[in-house]
Amino acid sequence: MKQTNALERHGAAAFLQFIDTTTSGATCAEYRRDHNYDLPTYPIHAAPCYICAAEWKFRQRNNAIGIEEDTKLYDDDEKCCAATVVRDVEETLETMNPAQWENTAINGELLKQDTDRLLDGAETMSMSMLDYKRQLDALEGKWRKYRAQQDFNKWAALRHWLRIPGIRRRIETVEKDIRGETSRRSRRLQERIRKAEKLMEQTKNKLRDIYAIYHREGKSRFSECNLKRRIAVAIQRKNTHLQKSVRQTTAFHKFKQQTIGKAFRRGKSY
């Protein structure tokens, strides 16, 4: 709980600042580094993946995570019980699984489909400009809620990702303490440690993937800036279409009146 509070206290405000400036376009393999250990200084020619860049920027701003990692190791040493430490690591990894915390109340794919349908159908929808703008206002309201959901998920993924190095250090310390022991209890602990390491890798991959998905959404045609531009264009297209329809209707009625007038005059001449 201490770690979560410190992250919220030191990182929540900074997090929103680096969402749009995180280095993009590279994978962890391209960067050729292990996420599990202390972050090295970035070489000039290298580019980290999205969540690595965010981690680096976060750690550049404060050392709250490093301090709490050291505190956790000290607490583990005070417990003097490897089984207790392993159990705590297992429980921590379970809570870090995105299935436990990811907010999916708003379906992003359905929202995108509704958005495309409304914006692309500006000319074909038979409604007034007032009704069209009302629908656009409702759409923008849904997007504000969805962006809040995105920010929560992105921040939560980073918050859990930042705990991975500390968890690995705790596992390595326990492994070192029981190394060479051949008792049945030690063998069971070693098996649990291997499972915890596997779970940690799986969790790490899930966190990295989730962060990348939400980061890329922030750069897509559905980003806040791009969506505002698309809405403005749709309103302009709708307005142009309505004006054109009015002109065509006026011209048709004028032509109809002229035709009726000519027919009436021809009738009187007989």
Helix segments in the chain, DSSP class H = 2-18, 28-31, 50-61, 64-79, 82-96, 98-101, 108-120, 129-161, 164-178, 184-217, 224-269
Q: 23 versus 57: which is more confidently predicted? A: 57
Each residue's pLDDT tens digit, 114-148: 999 888 887 777 778 888 889 999 999 999 999 99
* Predicted local distance difference test score (pLDDT) of residue 196: 94
Identity (one letter) of the amino acid at 169? R
Q: Are 28 and 49 in contact (CB under 8 A)?
A: yes
Identity (one letter) of the amino acid at 35? H
Q: What is the pTM of this model?
A: 0.70
How far apart (Å, rounded) are the C-alpha atoms in residues 259 and 270? 17
The pLDDT-based confidence of 38 (bands split at 50, 70, 90) is: very low
How far apart (Å, rounded) are the C-alpha atoms in residues 153 and 192? 29
How far apart (Å, rounded) are the C-alpha atoms in residues 159 and 210? 12
Tally of CA atoms within 13 A in the half-sphere of 180 that contains its CB: 2
Q: Are 103 and 149 in contact (CB under 8 A)?
A: yes
* Predicted local distance difference test score (pLDDT) of residue 39: 42
